[in-house]
């Protein structure tokens, strides 16, 4: 097969090219007109953009145990619809949590044959499971996730510094990252009364100091113990600044932010709109602007969704104190980031002297930067060497999309199990036309074209 376009997003440029695909692998990237005789199939998408498939390293599938929240079928269906070709499943909120090899195997058994894109797995660090970490690496987890504050589910308790000092040297020896939900419990404020409809009431309970002080703790431990630390869902400008300074000092730390932090601002959230609740919380617009700057400077390495769905009843409409905190946006991530970032992406910014990137920094075109943040850097974090790039030897995981076409989000049309979303009614630019997994089309505009073809990595 050959797939060709006038706009193919390569690691360093966007150009007309033909992708020669065999046995699910990109054999070579050739000139647009390089189409030898006898090729079985040539797909020419004209001027539509061909980007590397998105790699989303922060997805809560919740199966087994809480399949009524999401599940491998619906999560990977939503992924395919959004141009996401690989997800990495978080170790919670499934039951059991992925904190032992037996739990990992239970999750794989449920996932087998039901996934429409490729799926990899993170393990979990919780108090008392240090002996399980090495076997989990041997069984194939890509790294580990921990919480410094209560996670919201009893089977995944938070860790303290003593737990981290036991676990982090093991991860350093095995050369796998530790992903950290960075908020400190002693900085979390008292909850407002139940029934509070105002977003500011919730925001006040999770001040930016909780996030910043947790990041400082992880920088100190990463510097001392040499473990690769990755801070998930950074929401505060000051936290991003701490990470930038640490990276300039060659501390082994990376970080991500999420589409909702890049799109929304606290002052815009209506009363009672609990679909916007997440942790850390969406902060004021100055933080949103700072996160875009941190991405462009290289202080933040990637964008991942933190897809965290739950039944609508758990979002407790009108009550920010009781509502489950989580935003489901797996299918919308490409369009949300492209739409929110139009002004930021179009301004070519030079790399500040203090910035250190996961990949070598260049003042790349917007489409290349987008692919770095959403495909290449996440693949590097999860050690998925064949993912995230359009290059010879990589899996032919591709998304064909129109960056100029707009679509208004209709929740009922989303592929995720539950349709509640803060993006409802919002017009997003960037429409996925087709998704390819190892050279096989799995999504065609508005329908799944190949079922159950995803691999467990």
In this structure, of 83-97, 160-174, 215-229, 315-329, the range with the lowest mean pLDDT score is 315-329
Distance CA 261, CA 269 (A): 12
pLDDT at 360: 44
**Spatial separation of the C-alpha atoms in residues 264 and 284, rounded to whole Å:** 8
pLDDT tens column, 370-399 = 999 999 999 999 999 999 999 999 999 999
Q: What is the mean pLDDT of residues 298-324?
A: 94
Banded model confidence at residue 347, pLDDT cuts 50, 70, 90: low
Domain annotation for the chain: domains and CATH numbers: 53-386+415-426 (3.20.20.140)
User: Which whole number is the average pLDDT over 150-161?
Assistant: 97
CB 259, CB 234: distance < 8 Å:
no
Q: What's the mean pLDDT in 75-92?
A: 98
Report the predicted TM-score, pTM, of the whole model to 2 decimal places.
0.95
Give the pairing of strands 427-437 and 398-408. antiparallel
> Which pLDDT value is given to residue 352?
46
Contact between 377 and 301 under an 8 Å Cβ cutoff? The reply is: yes
pLDDT of residue 343: 79
Percentage of residues of the chain with pLDDT beyond 70: 95
Separation between Cα atoms, residue 188 and residue 202, nearest integer Å:
11
pLDDT, position 194: 64
Structure tokens at 142: 């890509």
402-411 long-range CB contacts below 8 Å, 24 or more apart?
402/48, 402/49, 402/430, 402/431, 402/433, 403/49, 403/338, 403/367, 403/429, 403/430, 404/429, 405/429, 405/430, 405/431, 406/431, 407/335, 407/431, 409/332
**Locate tokens 């990237």: which residue?**
29
pLDDT tens profile 249-303: 999 999 999 999 999 999 999 999 999 999 999 999 999 999 999 999 999 999 9
Q: Which is it for the CA torsion 359, 363, 368, 370, positive or negative? A: positive
d(CA 343, CA 335) in angstroms, rounded, equals: 14
Residue 357 has pLDDT above 60, yes or no: no
Residues 6 or more apart whose Cβ sits within 8 Å of residue 274:
315, 316, 317, 318, 319, 320, 323
Cα dihedral 39, 45, 51, 55 sign? negative
| H/E stretch holding 8 | strand 2-9
Single out the residue of 236, 432, 235 nearest to residue 333, CA to CA: 432
Helices (H), ranges, 32-160: 72-81, 101-111, 130-139
């Amino acid at each position: 097969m050959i797939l060709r376009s006038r706009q193919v997003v390569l690691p360093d440029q966007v150009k007309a090219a033909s992708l020669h695909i065999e046995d699910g692998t990109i054999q070579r990237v050739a000139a647009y007109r390089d189409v030898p005789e006898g090729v079985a199939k040539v797909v020419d998408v004209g001027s539509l953009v061909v980007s590397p498939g998105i790699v989303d390293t922060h997805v809560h599938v919740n199966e087994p145990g809480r399949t009524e929240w999401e599940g491998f079928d619906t999560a990977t269906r939503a992924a395919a619809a959004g141009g996401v070709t690989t997800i990495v499943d978080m170790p919670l909120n499934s039951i059991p949590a992925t904190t032992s090899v037996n739990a990992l195997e239970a999750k794989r058994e449920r996932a087998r044959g039901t996934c429409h894109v490729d799926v990899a797995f993170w393990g979990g660090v919780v108090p008392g499971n240090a002996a399980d970490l090495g076997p989990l690496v041997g069984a194939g987890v890509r790294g580990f996730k921990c919480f410094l504050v209560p996670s919201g589910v009893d089977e995944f308790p938070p860790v303290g510094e003593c737990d981290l000092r036991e676990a982090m040297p093991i991860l350093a020896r095995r050369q796998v990252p530790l992903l950290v939900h960075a908020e400190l419990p002693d900085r979390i404020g008292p909850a407002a009364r139940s029934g509070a409809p105002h977003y500011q009431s919730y925001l006040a309970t999770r001040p930016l100091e909780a996030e910043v002080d947790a990041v400082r703790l992880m920088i100190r431990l990463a510097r001392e113990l040499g473990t690769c630390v990755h801070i998930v869902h950074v929401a505060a400008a000051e936290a991003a600044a701490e990470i930038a300074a640490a990276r300039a000092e060659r501390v082994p730390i990376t970080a991500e932010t999420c589409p909702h932090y890049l799109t929304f601002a606290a002052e815009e959230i209506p009363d009672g709109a609990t679909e916007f609740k997440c942790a850390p919380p969406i902060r004021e617009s100055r933080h949103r602007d700072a996160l875009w700057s941190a991405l462009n400077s290289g202080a933040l390495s990637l964008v991942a969704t933190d897809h965290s769905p739950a039944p609508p009843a758990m979002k407790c409409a009108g009550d920010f104190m009781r509502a489950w905190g989580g935003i489901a946006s797996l299918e919308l991530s490409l369009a949300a980031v492209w739409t929110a970032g139009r002004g930021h992406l179009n301004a070519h910014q030079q790399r500040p002297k203090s910035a250190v990137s996961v990949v070598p920094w260049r003042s790349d075109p917007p489409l290349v930067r987008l692919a770095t943040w959403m495909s290449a850097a996440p693949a590097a974090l999860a050690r998925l060497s064949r993912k995230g790039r359009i290059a010879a030897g990589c899996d032919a995981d591709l998304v064909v999309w129109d960056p100029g076409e707009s679509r208004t989000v209709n929740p009922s049309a989303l592929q995720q199990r539950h349709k509640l979303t803060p993006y409802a009614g919002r017009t997003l630019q960037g429409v996925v036309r087709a998704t390819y997994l190892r050279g096989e089309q799995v999504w065609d505009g508005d329908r799944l074209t190949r079922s159950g073809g995803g691999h467990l990595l």
